[in-house]
Amino acid sequence: MQIIKAKDYDHMSRMAANVIAAQVILKPDCVLGLATGSTPIGTYEELVRRYNNGDLDFSAVTSVNLDEYKGLSPENDQSYRYFMNDHLFKHVNIRQDSTYVPNGLEPDSAAACAAYDEIIRQAGGIDLQLLGLGHNGHIGFNEPSDVFETDTHCVDLTQSTIDANARFFASMDEVPRQAYTMGIGTIMRAKKILLVVSGKAKAQIVRDAFFGPCTPQVPASVLQLHKDVILVGDEEALSLIP
């Protein structure tokens, strides 16, 4: 694993954007695995800035997002489809029909998940997967568990994740309890993985995930077994690593 220590959030965002930009420049028809959450927002802003400067072309890129809340429509401003449109897709020249997010409106979980795995398979797998890190070590919405789930699946979100997400919703009742997420197997098959972390609140879980035992109780710890992981973090998030 390569660790890039950034000064602060903005620096982290620029460093992460460097990795994604390099991927798009070197393989214009690449498959980008994308992530939501507050951490990558600055990275997306930086990519949009570079696109506006004429330094990046997304016209041949395919994107597959990690996850989506079950039950939320693309028009719901808390859905991950809405987030991606808002922070990246509508600002660059990626073809809308080459951007994929699990279908939160498909009530049949097995059908939604199988369809998503087929999309990723047809795209030829993921060249570069961007990840954030949940406070409990989740990646995508792969929550702590007794096993690593391999394929796209429907998860019951843990109380800590529901609590962490509550800040984005008008009331606790509106916070989704389930989500569709890419599995650990699909994430691990990505050729390259870029994980972004920021802030003191992530320092302990960064240490547990990358310097503790590899266990499904800390889903991100599986990344220790991947051969090409870049961890970009700011000083606070990396403050507890040995």
List interacting residues with ligand GLP (CB under 6 A). 35-39, 66-67, 132-134, 140-141, 161
- How far apart CA 154 and CA 196 sit, in angstroms, is 24
Question: For ligand GLP, which is the closer residue by CB, 102 or 132?
Answer: 132
Question: For ligand GLP, which is the closer residue by CB, 27 or 224?
Answer: 224
Rounded to a whole number of angstroms, the minimum distance from the CB of residue 234 to ligand GLP is 12
Written as one letter, the residue type at 116 is Y
Question: For ligand GLP, which is the closer residue by CB, 38 or 52?
Answer: 38
| Whether 67 is catalytic | yes
- How far apart CA 95 and CA 43 sit, in angstroms, is 20
| Whether 18 is catalytic | no
Under 8 Å CB-to-CB from 144, ≥6 apart: which residues?
136, 137, 138, 158, 216, 217, 218, 219
Question: Which of 121, 124, 92 lies closest to 24, judged by CA?
Answer: 92
Rounded to a whole number of angstroms, the minimum distance from the CB of residue 165 to ligand GLP is 7
Question: For ligand GLP, which is the closer residue by CB, 23 or 36?
Answer: 36
- How far apart CA 138 and CA 171 sit, in angstroms, is 23
Catalytic residue among 46, 65, 67, 153: 67
Question: For ligand GLP, which is the closer residue by CB, 133 or 231?
Answer: 133
> Tokens in use for 117?
């795995």
Catalytic residue among 68, 117, 143, 149: 143
Catalytic residue among 65, 68, 127, 136: 136
CA distances from 79 to 75, 82, 237 (A): 7, 5, 27
Rounded to a whole number of angstroms, the minimum distance from the CB of residue 66 to ligand GLP is 5
Rounded to a whole number of angstroms, the minimum distance from the CB of residue 164 to ligand GLP is 7
239, burial (CB in 10 Å: exposed 0-12, middle 13-18, buried 19+): middle
| Whether 136 is catalytic | yes
- How far apart CA 231 and CA 207 sit, in angstroms, is 12
> Tokens in use for 211?
């310097």
Backbone angles phi, psi at 176, to 5 degrees: -60, 145
Rounded to a whole number of angstroms, the minimum distance from the CB of residue 162 to ligand GLP is 10
Residues designated catalytic = 67, 136, 138, 143
